Structure 1
Amino acid sequence: MTTDALFGDRSFAAFLFDMDGTLLTSIEAAERVWSAWATRHGLDLAAFLPTLHGKRAVDTVRQLGLPGVDAEVEAEVISQAEIEDVEGVREIGGAASFLASLPADRWALVTSAPRALALARLGAAGLTPPAVFVTADDVTIGKPAPDGYLMAAKRLGVDPAECLVFEDAPAGIEAGERAGASVLVIQATHTAPLDSSHPAIDHYEGVRASTSSDGRLTLSRVAA
């Protein structure tokens, strides 16, 4: 058995996780709901669907600039539909066991989903939310702005530059970078690797976190 240290001898004060595409996959459910909404508004699905991921619903709608559309009202409608449709939502391989191995005060969740939707998806995937749980409801500006990750680090009482962000989407990766954190890319839901210079893993199976006597975390990949 061999061990590959993903960040060399670097250790971290805390791990900060995105949710969709990082700890669980919700693509099937999200694209069902958003496809129905986009069709009603006459959007080109092939062009529109790839723009969804990693951002708050209100930001996605607002950026379209659709005449006569209230972005906040539409985002509420979409979020409620997503809460009601969690079919196919499941954990990314090994995520639950990996999270259970972490000290409770050393990790946080930072998602672009509203809290009610995040709780619905976590429940469907069999994942327990952490004590520090930042959602779309907690920030004024969503990803790619760093606000959510900065807030999570502050609530954990750590320096953002001492954190490792787990992300899957370009908007979230940029948010982690702008927060000053290191980034690990999760590729479980990608059909092709992202164009990123950051280390990447496909899933959490065979990935191990170790905690030192002073509470700092290291990350390694174990291969048979």
Structure 2
Amino acid sequence: MSATTSSKYFTQITSTHPEAHEVEISTSGCLFDLDGTLMLSTDCVEAFWRDFGATYDIDAEELLRTSHGRRTLDILRMWKPELANKEMSAKFEATIPQRWKHIAKPVPGVHKFLSELPASQWGIVTSGTTVMATSWLSDFLEITPPEVFVTAEHIVEGKPHPEGYMKGHKDLDLAHHFLVFEDAPAGIRAGKDAGAFVVGMATTYGADKVKAAGADIVIPDLTHIRVKSWDAETGVLKLAVTNPL
């Protein structure tokens, strides 16, 4: 027994057997967050902010509560405004891969899924600086940065503002419907406000929190999604999601 509901962009196929539950999404392209979405660096970032809090006598738990998914520049504006400039942000972030790379991990499935996507149909929108994001991608994940690579320096307003995803959408020259992959509530909100269908990643937070933040569908990691087809003439990219949460 199965049931199917369809729209122009979204088809859901359900089955009495959970292992057969598959969702098909038709879209024009994908934009990815980096930390917590393509790689698991939350422990690295938390280690940095704990060290920062100890250095500047700021409560580490309050720092962590306000930091995830946001630009370092915006966090500095909140907690240490005299250090809040692009040069200091880049300097601080450069230390994260250098000091804590050994505790980072790739998100399962990242290399396979990105290799399946047409290079012209995906990009990255991250709250990190170009220096840090490039280091994580090139040196740690060994992935060549995509042509559309929106970092903290390229925008005025950081997440949860939608500016970054709106810029990524424009730079990729996508049709109206596009996907955003995000793990953090601030990023999920940014994706939704940019008009995207948001694929929530339950890598940093539990599925319930990711859903509550507004994600349209939630997956544990990138082993649960694959490319079904790509039609260059129509610009339609079809993805299959297996066993969403």
Shift of 1:211: 2.5
User: 1:76–1:221: structure 2 CA closer, same or farther, 3 Å change rule?
Assistant: closer
- Is 1:136 matched with 2:156? no
Ranges of 4+ aligned residues in structure 1 off by more than 3 Å: none
- Is 1:196 matched with 2:217? no
User: 1:148–1:219: structure 2 CA closer, same or farther, 3 Å change rule?
Assistant: same
Percent of residue pairs bearing the same amino acid type: 33
Q: Conserved in 2, the CA contact under 8 Å of 1:37 and 1:78?
A: no
SS of 2:113's equivalent?
helix
Residue 75 of structure 1 corresponds to 89
Letter in 2 for 1:89: A
SS of 1:144's equivalent?
coil
Name structure 1 gaps, 5 residues minimum: none
Residue 219 of structure 1 corresponds to 239
- Is 1:27 matched with 2:42? yes
Residue 171 of structure 1 corresponds to 186
- Is 1:102 matched with 2:117? yes
User: 1:168–1:206: structure 2 CA closer, same or farther, 3 Å change rule?
Assistant: closer
SS of 2:103's equivalent?
coil
Distance in 2, Cα, partners of 1:222 & 1:40? 45
Q: Conserved in 1, the CA contact under 8 Å of 2:134 and 2:145?
A: yes
Larger gyration radius, structure 1 or structure 2: 2
TM-score by length of 1: 0.88
Q: Conserved in 1, the CA contact under 8 Å of 2:148 and 2:171?
A: yes
Which of 159, 168, 176 aligns to 1:152? It is 168
Residue 207 of structure 1 corresponds to 225
User: 1:206–1:179: structure 2 CA closer, same or farther, 3 Å change rule?
Assistant: closer
Name structure 2 gaps, 5 residues minimum: 1-18
Q: Conserved in 1, the CA contact under 8 Å of 2:229 and 2:237?
A: yes
Which of 17, 27, 30 aligns to 1:12? It is 27
The count of aligned residue pairs is 217
Letter in 2 for 1:179: A
Distance in 2, Cα, partners of 1:92 & 1:50? 23
Deviation per CA, 1:12-47: give whole Å up to 9, x if none. Answer: 111110000011011122111111111122222222
Q: Conserved in 2, the CA contact under 8 Å of 1:91 and 1:126?
A: no
Letter in 1 for 2:96: E
Structure number with higher helix proportion: 2
SS of 2:111's equivalent?
helix
TM-score by length of 2: 0.81
SS of 2:120's equivalent?
helix
Residue 184 of structure 1 corresponds to 199
Report the RMSD for the aligned CA atoms in angstroms.
1.9
SS of 2:198's equivalent?
strand
Q: Conserved in 2, the CA contact under 8 Å of 1:90 and 1:126?
A: no
- Which one scores higher on RCO, CA 8 angstroms, separation ≥ 6? 1
Q: Conserved in 1, the CA contact under 8 Å of 2:180 and 2:198?
A: yes
Distance in 2, Cα, partners of 1:35 & 1:96? 30
- Is 1:59 matched with 2:74? yes
